[in-house]
Amino acid sequence: MKKKYCIANWKMNQSVEDCENYAFKLKSSFCKTSSEMIVCPSFIHLSKIKDLFGDLEIQIGAQTISEHLNGAYTGEISVEMLNDFNINWTIVGHSERRQFFNETNQDIQNKLKIAVENKINPIVCIGETLLERQNSKTIEVLKEQIQTTFDSINCSNIKLIIAYEPVWAIGSGVTADLNTISETHEEIRNILSKIISNSEKVSILYGGSVNPDNCEKILNLKHVDGFLIGGASLDPEKFLNIYRKMN
């Protein structure tokens, strides 16, 4: 059985007060199950969230990292800085990083490489745009994203998560239909098996407008090992509700 994950991507949201309220709610109702929960707040709240969560069995991750170890890269955060705070997960290649910060597959490979070399476990996001899907390019795009990102990278010493997030389903309220998710996850597993050793250990998550009402049906699909959640993860009750339904 592959590990199941429920991951919150808070993006550029939540105040310190929101973080405190969130932690308070989790402390009163979170119960660890066989699934892992990972929360990815903004960089500036990582340390605060780590303190607030205390000994709750919830892991914490960053939303991106620099592709450089250190140096004159104003505004960037390095893997060494994450390691200083014992943060051992990061999202890599989220579609908003690709879209608004022009990250290419090559940039994402550089980030993956530095993460893996520094024992930060990556959550690698892939996904097609609506136009690419309409033009029947989905598999081609995903293959290209996976091939370039993982080219000559050895992931055998880390935990690796792939998040399939169709760009058109992110934050849109439109979830991909069950057939689309099922077929695409199966394709991704096939692609991974040709590119990554021990690919059967890789968890493939779905992301795109997941909420407490649609999560169960999606999770019942064969190749879905959990979720990466944006909007619904901002509300601790909704997020916990989804986490509980995973077990």
Residues designated as active site:
94, 165
Which residue, judged by CB position, is nearest to ligand PEP in the bound state?
Answer: 230
Distance CA 151, CA 153 (A): 6
**Minimum distance of ligand PEP from residue 125's CB (angstroms):** 7
The dihedrals phi and psi of 37, each to the nearest 5 degrees, come to: -110, 135
The token pair at 18 is 């929101």
Which positions lie near ligand PEP, rule CB under 6 A? 9, 165, 170-171, 207-210, 228-232
CB count in 10 Å sphere of residue 118: 17
Minimum distance from residue 96 beta carbon to ligand PEP (Å): 7
Between 208 and 226, whose beta carbon lies closer to ligand PEP?
Answer: 208
- Of the pair 190, 231, the CB lying nearest ligand PEP is at 231
DSSP 168-227: GGTTSS-PPPHHHHHHHHHHHHHHHHHHSTTGGG-EEEE-SS--TTTHHHHHTSTT--EE
Minimum CB separation of residue 229 from ligand PEP in Å reads 5
Q: Closer CB to ligand PEP, residue 118 or residue 214?
A: 214
